[in-house]
Structure 1
Amino acid sequence: MATKLGLRAGQYIQEIGYDEDVDFDLREAIEAITGEEMADEDVDDEFDVIIMWWRADDPDLTDGLVDAQGTLAEGGRLWLLTPKASRPGHIPPADISEAAPTAGMHVTKTVSVASDWSGFCLVGKKNYS
């Protein structure tokens, strides 16, 4: 499933929102593709990709997206991973579609990334084509 994220070897990835409910197989696949461990959310650096696990009971999504962009390299992508419909913590796609432009981003792609998680690819407005 990680291949759906369009990742490649050598990309520097930050992981935000790690908790015991994340999909560990997906995490391992991401690290196998890139050849690197993902940096945790406390690392203050510039990243090619951000993997952001987000649930309905997490803080405000718009604020989370704005904060995440602070470490996203120009031209980088943010993969917002949310629980699928009928799973605990599900975020309706309409909420994501509303939060993204408010945070200065666009949703460019939506995929199923694991049995319990959906992925929304977001890019900054200046990177949208």
Structure 2
Amino acid sequence: MIYTKTKLKDGAVVFGPVTAKSTYTRCAVCGKEIQMDLRELILAGAQDPYDTEVNCAECSAKMMHRGDINIDSVIRLTDVLRDIGYGMELHGLCEDFEVEDVRALAPEEYELFVDELLDKISEVRHAG
């Protein structure tokens, strides 16, 4: 059993087991006290559990919120990716979507196109 040992001001020593229900931290964003399971931290691959920052569910949800994807943002993204050398991946994805240029995408395709483009870029970066 792993436990904590704390010496109080009056000299008394208090022992407390470290369990999934007795481990707490503060949200790195808002400071809210949150209960945490150390197993999750270990399984997530935390390099140093003593310095790992954890966010509460509310702050995590805010961080995951994406703005609306519109044609202007798709064009900016594809321009940058083309400029840094991912033109072939972009061209291949346009072929998959049966368009010559991203401007020909239908609005309902924007999010799927961006998701697939980022997946392709990630595959290429991790493959080589």
Q: Which has the higher contact order (CA 8 A, sep 6+)?
A: 1
TM band (smaller chain): under 0.3
Report which of the two structures shows the higher radius of gyration computed on alpha carbons. 2
Q: Report the structure, 1 or 2, having the larger helix content.
A: 2
TM-score, L = length of structure 1: 0.21
Structure showing the higher strand proportion among its residues: 1
